[in-house]
Structure 1
Amino acid sequence: MSRGVEDETTVNDSYSVTVPAAVRRAADIEAGDKLRWRVDEDGTLSIEIVKQRYGAFSELEPVNIGETTNAAEDHDFVAGDH
């Protein structure tokens, strides 16, 4: 995150907060990202950005197992079921 960006927001009645635009831009937070909240024993609050990963498997090479498979059709297949 870029240094020097500071802003504040208010916790609403449903305990939701809005991440200020300047903070979103500086931290490169996008829709779908998650914020992991942590409170240390001394009361320090830290927030970790967990980036939403698109195409996590796109760089994997297929493995030839000697038979034709179709993941879209076979995704519920359980070993031993035929």
Structure 2
Amino acid sequence: MPRKIERETTITEQFSVTIPPAVRRAAGVEAGDTIRWQVDDDGSLSVEHRRQQYGAFDDLNAVDIGESTDAANDHDLGSREF
């Protein structure tokens, strides 16, 4: 029978929380993963751990658009304020 792990976390004044080490280890939480929060109609809160995906674009082939690009600098062009 799997063991149940329960820990408490205090919510800071900035509404941040820290995932306790025992919970991180048991759930396999790593940096880059995300947490999805859900509040039901009755106010109950649930949390879903979503692992970071690696290699999601490994099977894609580059497309020659006839000009050089610099993804490190160009990827946020649409969100910059001028």
Per the normalisation by structure 2, the TM-score is 0.68
Match for residue 7 of structure 1?
7
CA RMSD, 1 decimal? 2.5
Give the distance between the partners of 1:40 and 1:29, measured in 2 at CA: 24
Q: How big is each residue's C-alpha offset from its partner over 1:14-44, in whole Å with a ceiling of 9 and x where there is no partner?
A: 1100000000011111001110100000111
1:69 corresponds to which of 56, 64, 71:
64
Detail structure 1 runs of 4+ shifted over 2 Å in the superposition: 73-76
Give the distance between the partners of 2:3 and 2:56, measured in 1 at CA: 30
Amino-acid identity (%): 51
Give the distance between the partners of 1:3 and 1:55, measured in 2 at CA: 33
Give the distance between the partners of 1:3 and 1:41, measured in 2 at CA: 29
The number of residue pairs the alignment matches comes to 68
What code does the residue aligned with 2:19 have? V
5+ long unaligned stretches in structure 1: 63-67, 77-82
Give the distance between the partners of 2:35 and 2:60, measured in 1 at CA: 31
Alpha-carbon deviation of 1:57? Answer: 2.0
Give the distance between the partners of 2:22 and 2:11, measured in 1 at CA: 18
Aligned ranges 1:1-82 → 2 under 5 Å: 3-58=3-58, 60=59, 62=61, 69=64, 73=68
Q: How big is each residue's C-alpha offset from its partner over 1:41-71, in whole Å with a ceiling of 9 and x where there is no partner?
A: 011110111211111122x275xxxxx838x
What code does the residue aligned with 1:69 have? D
